[in-house]
């Protein structure tokens, strides 16, 4: 099942009331969405606010998502519109931080918890530590694991494409990517434990 | 199970395992942490690569612009514009290398970027032994068509050999 179909499956589960399934989508796309929103809004705290609003809007509008486009494409549009609205309001100097949406339908959604601790200096320090640790862990990976994870995460190649590039079976690619992630994860353990 | 989470996030899991794996992740907090951390690792890797790609892309755009400007001057049959263009390009590549070398990201260059950057550096003649003021002066000389005469006369300190060469070329 490809990435789009997996997203569609998670969306369907969320449409049937499985809020944890939607949380998996939030976890999956928050980093990418924040990068997009950062092109519109400079202040990182405001970016995170808009990202959170975007996910809440998306959740509330999920029933209208029919899978005609990829979920991320749809989320991207919601995010850009939310950012534009945010900037329009700021442009009119109606900086109303009390903008509210009817989020009663989203009770139980963990989106708020996923964002609320991003804004503190302590969190920024942890993020720096995470980045440095990941860098160090990546550099210490065996060469074949380093190459495989880089081709997947940075170049965006599929397992089949990586298998062709590295002349190895797809199963080996899958195993190497998992081992690379797991080795990096083990390095992150102490930092995440302090979180 | 972790292996399946890794494959799921890459969209590479078999159909029959997808629903089962999602269900298990939803039920187990530790597995949700795995899902989150694997994505965090990917986000940080891609973020660093994006910084690097943006620098390369911006540099390419500026070099392309520089190339167009220089091409306009070729109609004047200047024979020494290529070395001067190379000076400007070298300065820009130096800036890019310096920027990329900053410890701002996790992966300062991707393998592809490193190859491209190396090619740029190798194709650009090294500029050594020329004072910075002279390089700027050369740069202003080749771009004087885009400036007022007054600005050019104020900006360019005449260097006899260069001016002489220029006059010969325009005759």
Domains annotated on chain A, with CATH: 3-116 (1.10.1740.10), 123-194 (1.10.10.10)
Determine whether the interchain pair A177/B10 forms a contact, defined as Cβ–Cβ distance below 8 Å.
yes
User: Is 70 exceeded by the pLDDT of residue B110?
Assistant: no
In a domain, B98, yes or no: yes
Name the residue with higher pLDDT: B129 or A191: A191
The answer to whether the CB of A118 falls within 8 A of the CB of A129 is: no
Judged by a CB distance cut-off of 8 A, whether residue B39 touches chain A is yes
The answer to whether the CB of A6 falls within 8 A of the CB of B13 is: yes
Task: Please state the domain count of chain B.
Answer: 1
Contacts of B49 in chain A (CB under 8 A): 154
The CA–CA distances, whole Å, from A36 to A32, A50, A75, B12, B165 equal: 6, 11, 11, 25, 51
ipTM: 0.76
In a domain, B85, yes or no: yes
Q: What pLDDT is stored for residue A176 in this prediction? A: 95
Query: Residue B116's domain spans which residues?
Result: 52-128
Give the minimum alpha-carbon distance from A21 to chain B in angstroms, rounded to a whole number.
7
pLDDT bin (cut points 50, 70, 90) of residue B156 is very low
Question: Among all residues of chain B, which has the CA nearest to that of A12?
Answer: B19
In a domain, B163, yes or no: no
Q: What pLDDT is stored for residue B78 in this prediction? A: 44
Query: pTM here?
Result: 0.58
In a domain, B22, yes or no: no
Determine whether the interchain pair B32/A5 forms a contact, defined as Cβ–Cβ distance below 8 Å.
no
The answer to whether the CB of A51 falls within 8 A of the CB of A62 is: no
What is the rounded CA–CA span in Å between residue A52 and residue A29?
11
Of A3, A9, A184, the CB nearest to B41: A184
In a domain, B106, yes or no: yes
Q: What pLDDT is stored for residue A68 in this prediction? A: 84
User: Considering chain B, what percentage of its residues have pLDDT values greater than 70?
Assistant: 27
SS3 A97: coil
- For A124-174, write each residue's pLDDT tens digit: 677 778 888 888 888 899 999 999 999 999 888 999 999 999 999 999 999
Contacts of B32 in chain A (CB under 8 A): 20, 23-24, 27
In a domain, B170, yes or no: no
User: Is 80 exceeded by the pLDDT of residue B58?
Assistant: no
Averaged pLDDT, B41-49: 78
């Amino acid at each position: 099942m490809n990435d789009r179909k997996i997203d569609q499956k998670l969306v369907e589960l969320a449409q049937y009331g499985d809020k944890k399934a939607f949380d998996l989508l939030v976890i999956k796309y928050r980093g990418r969405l924040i990068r997009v929103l950062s092109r519109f809004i400079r202040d990182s705290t405001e970016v995170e606010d808009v990202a959170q609003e975007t996910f809440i809007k998306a959740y509330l509008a999920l029933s209208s998502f029919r899978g005609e486009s990829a979920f991320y494409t749809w989320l991207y549009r919601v995010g850009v519109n939310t950012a534009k609205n945010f900037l329009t309001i700021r442009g009119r100097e109606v900086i109303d931080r009390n903008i509210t949406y009817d989020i009663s339908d989203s009770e139980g959604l963990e989106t708020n918890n996923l964002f609320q601790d991003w804004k503190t200096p302590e969190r920024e320090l942890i993020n720096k530590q995470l980045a440095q640790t990941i860098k160090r862990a990546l550099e210490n990976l065996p060469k074949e694991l380093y190459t495989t994870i880089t081709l997947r995460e940075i170049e965006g190649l599929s397992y089949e494409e990586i298998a062709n590039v590295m002349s190895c079976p797809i199963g080996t690619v899958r195993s190497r990517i998992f081992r690379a992630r797991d080795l990096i994860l083990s390095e992150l353990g102490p930092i995440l434990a302090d979180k | 199970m972790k292996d399946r989470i890794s494959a799921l996030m890459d969209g590479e899991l078999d159909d029959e395992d997808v629903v089962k794996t999602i269900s298990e992740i939803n039920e187990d907090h530790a597995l949700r942490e795995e899902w989150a951390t694997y994505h965090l690792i990917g986000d940080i890797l891609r973020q660093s690569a994006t910084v690097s790609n943006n620098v390369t892309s911006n540099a390419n755009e500026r070099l392309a612009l520089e190339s167009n400007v220089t091409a306009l001057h070729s109609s004047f049959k200047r024979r020494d514009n290529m070395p001067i263009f190379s000076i400007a390009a070298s300065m820009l590549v130096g800036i890019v290398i310096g920027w990329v070398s900053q410890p701002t990201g996790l992966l300062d260059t991707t393998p592809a970027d490193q190859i491209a950057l190396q090619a740029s550096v190798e194709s650009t003649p090294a500029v050594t032994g020329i004072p910075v003021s002279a390089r700027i002066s050369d740069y202003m000389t080749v771009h004087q068509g885009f400036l007022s005469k007054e600005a050019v006369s104020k900006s360019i300190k005449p260097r006899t050999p260069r001016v002489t060469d220029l006059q010969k070329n325009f005759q």
